[in-house]
Amino acid sequence: MKIIGWGLPALFGALGLIFPLSAAAEWQVNLGPGVTEISRAVYDLHMTIFWVCVAIGAVVFGVMLYSIVHHRKSRGAKAHNFHENTLVEIIWTVVPFVILVGMAVPATATLIKMYDQSEAELDIQVTGYQWKWRYQYLGEDIDFFSSLSTPREQISNDETKGEHYLLEVDNAMVIPAGKKVRLLLTANDVIHSWWVPDLAVKKDAIPGFINEAWTIAPEPGIYRGQCAELCGKDHGFMPIVVDVRSEEDFNQWLVEMKQAKAQASDAATKNWTLAELMAKGEEVYNRACAACHQPNGEGIPGAFPALKGSPMMVGDPAAHIDVVLNGKSGTAMQAFRDQLSAVELAAVITYERNAWGNTTGDLVSPAQINTLKQ
C-alpha cells in the first residue's frame, strides 16, 4: 500500500523530468514565432497568456499542494469550520477579471491589425479542392493547381521518407518578399482551411463564399503549412507551400510561367499516338484520379465508383469526356476542365478507356478536347 501510494507518483515525477530534458530539435514544444510582424505579435500574445496561466497555476496548485501536505488527517490536522468569506470571494472574482481585461487589450490591438483591409500589391485567389489547392493570380493570367508531391511509396512505408514528408507540393505558391499579398479564399466542394504557421494565417476556404486574408513576408524563404479543416479522405494530404522570392526572382517566375503556358498549348496541336497518350495518361491518372478511383481502377465500394469494366469507360466516349471535363454535381467527382491541360485530359481519358482490361482501343486526342473546351 505504501509502495503504491508513493512509488507511482515518484515514477510519474521521473517521467516528467525525462521528457522535457530530451526536448532537442525534433521535440519542438512551443509555437514558433514565425516570420511576419503579425506572426510575432501573435507569438507575444501566446507567451503572455501562457505565463499568466503559469502564474495563476503556481498560486492555485501551490495552495492546494500545501493543504495536501499539511492539512492531512494522518498528520493530525483538525478540520476548521469556516466555509465562506465575502471579502475573499470578491477578491478572487475581481482580480481574474482585471487580469482578463489586461489580456483583452493587446489581443484586441493585434486582431484589429490583422483585419487591416487596405489595398494589396498582389491578389491571389486560393480555391480549396478535395485534396489540392488552386492559385489564380488576379490580373496576371496565372492559374495552377498545387498538390502533394510526396510519392505514394513513402506514405505506404515502402520507401524512406524524405525531409519534407507530406509537406511538399508540385507547384508552390510563389509570392514576392516585402509586398502585401492578399489571399481571396474560397472552395470548390467542401470547407477547407488555408494555414501557414510561419505567416500566422489561417482562414477557412468555404464553397460559395470568399474570405480574405493577407500577409507581408519580409524575407525570401520556403514556408510550409497544411489544410486545417477536415475535408474528407485525404485531408491529411493537401499541404501548402509558400515560396517567397525577391521581387526580381518573382518577376522572372512570372515570365517563366507564361512561357510554359504557351508551350503547353503548342503540345496540344501535335499528333499523339495511342502509346504516348497511354504513358502520359497513366502518370496523370495516378496524380489526379487514383486517390479516389484507386490505382487499379477498382474504386472504393459505396464511396467512389470503379472505372474498371464501367459501362461509361467502355461505352460512348462523349459521356465519359463530359464527366471528366464537367464533373458530376452532387458527388465528389470534380470538373477537371481547368485542372488539367488538353493533353492531360486527352491522355487520362484514353488511359481509362484502355487500362485494367478496358479494351475499347479509343484514342481521344488533345485537339478533340480543345474543341469541347471552347
Partner 1 sequence: MGTLEQTVETEVHHGPARGITRWLYTTNHKDIGSMYLWFSLLMFLLGGCMALTIRAELFQPGLQLMEPNFFNQMTTMHGLIMVFGAVMPAFVGLANWMVPMMIGAPDMALPRMNNWSFWILPFAFCMMVATLFMEGGAPNFGWTFYAPLSTTYAPPSVTFFIFAVHMMGISSIMGAINIIATILNLRAPGMTMMKLPLFVWTWLITAFLLIAVMPVLAGVVTMMLMDIHFGTSFFNAAGGGDPVLFQHVFWFFGHPEVYIMILPAFGIVSQIIPTFARKKLFGYASMVYATASIAFLAFIVWAHHMFTVGMPLAGELFFMYATMLIAVPTGVKVFNWVATMFRGSMTFETPMLFALAFVVLFTIGGFSGLMLAIAPADFQYHDTYFVVAHFHYVLVPGAIFSIVAAVYYWLPKWTGNMYNETMGRWHFWLSFIGVNVTFFPMHFVGLAGMPRRIPDYALQFADFNAVASVGAFMFGLSQLLLVYNVVQCIRVKRPATAEVWEGAEGLEWTVPSPAPYHTFAQPPLVK
- Under rule CB under 8 A, which residues in 48-67 are in contact with partner 1? 49-50, 53, 56-57, 60-61, 63-64, 66-67
Q: Does 33 engage in binding with partner 1 (CB under 8 A)?
A: no
Residue of 83, 119, 263, 361 that binds partner 1 (CB under 8 A)? 83
- The smaller minimum CB distance to partner 1, of residues 148 and 355, is found at 148
Q: Does 257 engage in binding with partner 1 (CB under 8 A)?
A: no
Q: Single out the residue of 275, 293, 271 nearest to residue 354, CA to CA.
A: 275
Contacting residues for 11 by C-beta, under 8 A, at least 6 apart: none
Residue of 290, 332, 335, 367 that binds partner 1 (CB under 8 A)? 332
What is the smallest separation between the CB atom of 40 and partner 1, expressed in angstroms? 11
Options 137-145, 190-198, 313-321, 365-373: segment touching partner 1 (CB under 8 A): 190-198
- The smaller minimum CB distance to partner 1, of residues 1 and 275, is found at 1
What is the smallest separation between the CB atom of 368 and partner 1, expressed in angstroms? 29
Q: Does 5 engage in binding with partner 1 (CB under 8 A)?
A: yes
Burial (CB < 10 A; 0-12, 13-18, 19+), residue 151, is middle
- The smaller minimum CB distance to partner 1, of residues 232 and 274, is found at 232
Q: Single out the residue of 301, 305, 311 nearest to residue 293, CA to CA.
A: 305
Give the separation between CA 214 and CA 227, rounded to whole angstroms. 17
Joined together, the cell numbers standing for residue 257 give 510561367
294-309 in b/e form (b: 16+ CB < 10 A) is beebebeeeebbbbbe
Q: Which residues pair with 135 in a beta bridge?
A: 126, 144
Q: Does 118 engage in binding with partner 1 (CB under 8 A)?
A: no
Residue of 142, 166, 177, 290 that binds partner 1 (CB under 8 A)? 166
Give the separation between CA 233 and CA 341, rounded to whole angstroms. 25
Q: Does 231 engage in binding with partner 1 (CB under 8 A)?
A: yes
Residue of 21, 87, 105, 112 that binds partner 1 (CB under 8 A)? 112
> In which element (H, E) is residue 325 found?
helix 317-326
Q: Does 260 engage in binding with partner 1 (CB under 8 A)?
A: no
What is the smallest separation between the CB atom of 184 and partner 1, expressed in angstroms? 11
Q: Does 337 engage in binding with partner 1 (CB under 8 A)?
A: no
- The smaller minimum CB distance to partner 1, of residues 52 and 257, is found at 52
Residue of 35, 42, 342, 346 that binds partner 1 (CB under 8 A)? 42
- The smaller minimum CB distance to partner 1, of residues 82 and 139, is found at 82
Asked if 211 and 47 touch (Cβ cutoff 8 Å), the reply is no
Residue of 17, 37, 58, 71 that binds partner 1 (CB under 8 A)? 71
What is the smallest separation between the CB atom of 209 and partner 1, expressed in angstroms? 7
67-78 in b/e form (b: 16+ CB < 10 A) is eeeeeeeeeeee
The 142-161 site mask, x for binding partner 1 (CB under 8 A), equals: ------------xxxx---x
What is the smallest separation between the CB atom of 310 and partner 1, expressed in angstroms? 17
Residue 154 region, left (φ>0) first, then alpha (ψ -120 to 50), else beta?
alpha
Residue of 17, 40, 58, 68 that binds partner 1 (CB under 8 A)? 68
The residues in 265-324 that bind partner 1, with binding defined as CB under 8 A, are 300-303
Residue 29 region, left (φ>0) first, then alpha (ψ -120 to 50), else beta?
alpha
Q: Does 78 engage in binding with partner 1 (CB under 8 A)?
A: yes
Q: Single out the residue of 122, 128, 124, 125 nearest to residue 239, CA to CA.
A: 128
Q: Which residues pair with 212 in a beta bridge?
A: 184
